[in-house]
Amino acid sequence: MILEKINSNKDVKALREDEIDLLAEEIRQLLLETVSQNGGHLAANLCVVELTIALHRVFDTPNDNIIFDVGHQSYVHKILTDRRERFDTLRKLGGISGFPSIKESEHDAFGAGHSSTSISAAAGIAAANMLSGSESYTVAVVGDGAFTGGMIYEALNNCAEAERLIIVLNDNDMSISANVGGMSKYFSKVRSSVKYFRFKNGTKRFFEHIPLLGKSLIKGARAVKNSFKRVAMSQNFFEQFGLNYYGPVNGNDEKHIERLLKEAKDDKRSCVVHICTKKGMGYKPAEERPDLFHGVSGFDINSGKIKESGKISFSEQFGNIICRRAENDGRICAITAAMPDGTGLSEFAKKYPERFFDVGIAEQHALTFACGLAKKGMVPVFAVYSTFMQRAFDQMIHDAALQGLHIIVMLDRAGLVANDGPTHHGIFDAAFISQIPNVLFYSPNSFESLEECFDKALRADCPVVIRYPKGNEILCDGFEKGEEIDIFDCGSNPESAIITYSRLTENCKNAAEICQKAGVAARVISIKRLSPLPTEEIIAALQGVKNILFAEEGIKNGGIAQRLCAELFDKGELCGRSYKIRAIDAIFPPSATNAELYSLLALSDADIAKAIIEGDGNEA
């Protein structure tokens, strides 16, 4: 086992040439074994095995800085640095993160989880190195999918003067789903430039075989090479930014990559190294369906069958609803930021391709694009993960709410997202959306209420946001349905109430049943409209209640519980009542299962029931 010898990147450098392919094979096997059990990002990591080996043979982390864009492809980097023996803890509570983390290892140069940030961070680190006189190299590893995000171009505009900055463009023609847009077409053109490929590689091999003068002739031929490159591919995009350009080369050939990285390293200027890889490389099911194996909950290695719950998710239910409504309403359009599968829009894209828009990994653009559609009478529906919606906060205020444009934002993965960790938990949306004026904000607690909320959104004349969790339908039978709140009584004449919303409704119902067994009657109030809050309905539901617990699967500061407390206080409804808030306070929740996270945050059934039974809240 070659891998057993690898305890640091120094060991990678010491490998013989004939051991490198064996190492790559063993790494792929370890990736398959671990991700099949723990879940995680598979296809992207399989395709960067040779690249990561080459990076650690050419550069010296942590002295040199390697930054992975998004970071979901950093598993191989973790294995080759200082985390091989703990790799089986990937994405588990207290284990290795599924993304780079500066708290986890000095070899992780910059934390990530969202797309298109790496070049900006790398440019900043390179600038700091220049100011301090350091000769360290900074390498940003960027997938071609990230080039659909505008932040990349803001960063490229400020890279030309940097020293020892190398941008590795990992071109696999994919982000999560197939890439779209002008840059995707440009990269396809570069990939298909056979004339350039053959000329460059053939010329270099010829010069390398000339004794003594070979290296000098290679440098002298660079101008000729660049001239031919412009003829073969017109003007090179990156060179217009003042960056030297190397490639493209086969990104799954370690020797070629290593040779090109050394050439870029010797340049000492800002440059781009373009490699072409195959997403899912080395595992046939992932090669054939890289979109399915981008992020998986687990799978059978032999058959390639992905573990599924067998139940319909909120995302899929939303997809069913929008397809039915679009059949009778030609104004409905659907927008995704490179995630049609993850957000449930794949079927809509097939049925109504002319009304479906995949704008790439560009949430800010997607939001304002939706506003443009709305301005001309369309009803745009932008489906996006909660954690990625954070990037479009300004557009939601400035372009949507301020102008009162009728857009619908479907916030998927709202609340805790098991195992993906702090970069992907959707715990901030309730706080930042609810503070924006002129926005209707819903949080359905069932598939039935999801459809009701969507229909209300279609009838609205202002921006509407609907949030829902990852996973299957919430089990909340027995509730008395209201227009904006649902009520569940466990015991007669309850003097305690639990106010909550969304998926936590199920935990609160279970908690109320625990309370009843302990002789405490409790009422659960599940809010379906978060802004404006249905305060009068909630006040009516609090008649006879002396103790109130606000339970929230979101941040406490500025959250729904605090806003509701303030409104109740202003109306004198907290006088003589004890109250407390259970929410996420002063912590970024880690990677863990939902059950582990609920226990950690004191939001489990038992924790909520205990808080009600003890009844030790504040009193206004």
C-alpha span between 128 and 126 (Å, rounded): 5
Q: Which amino acid is at 381?
A: V
Q: Collapse the DSSP code of 246 into the 3-class scheme (helix H, G, I; strand E, B; otherwise coil) and give the result.
A: strand
| Contact between 25 and 1 (Cβ < 8 Å) | no
Phi-psi category of residue 459: left, alpha or beta, with phi > 0 → left and psi -120 to 50 → alpha = alpha
57 is catalytic: no
How many other C-beta atoms are found inside a 10 Å radius of the C-beta of residue 377? 8
**How many Cβ atoms are within 10 Å of 296's Cβ, its own excluded?**
19
- Catalytic annotation, pick one of 78, 391, 503, 582: 391
Helical (H) or strand (E) element with 201: helix 194-208
- Residue 597, CA distances (Å) to 90, 308, 314, 584, 604 in order: 16, 21, 20, 10, 8
- Please say if 355 is a catalytic residue: no
Encoded tokens for 417: 């997202």
Q: Residues 286, 289, 293, 298: is their CA dihedral positive or negative?
A: negative
From the candidates 50, 258, 363, 473, give the one annotated as an active-site residue: 363
Q: CA 385 to CA 428: how far, in whole Å?
A: 12
Q: Is residue 279 annotated as part of the catalytic site, yes or no?
A: yes
Check 279, 413, 503, 509 and give the catalytic one: 279
User: Nearest CA to 591 among 470, 386, 416?
Assistant: 416
Give me the helix-helix angle, 254-267 and 17-38, nearest 10°: 100
Q: Please, which contacts does 563-569 make with residues 24 or more away whose CB atoms are closer than 8 Å?
A: 563/434, 563/533, 564/499, 564/527, 564/533, 564/535, 564/538, 567/533, 567/535, 568/535, 568/538, 568/539, 569/620
In the three-class reduction of DSSP (H, G, I as helix; E, B as strand; rest coil), residue 525 is classed as: strand
Distances (CA, A) of 278 to 188, 247, 253: 14, 16, 11
H-helix or E-strand containing 363?
Answer: helix 363-375
Determine the Cα–Cα distance for residues 545 and 535; give it in Å rounded to an integer.
15
How many of the other CB atoms lie within 10 Å of CB of 44? 30
Task: List active site positions.
Answer: 279, 363, 391
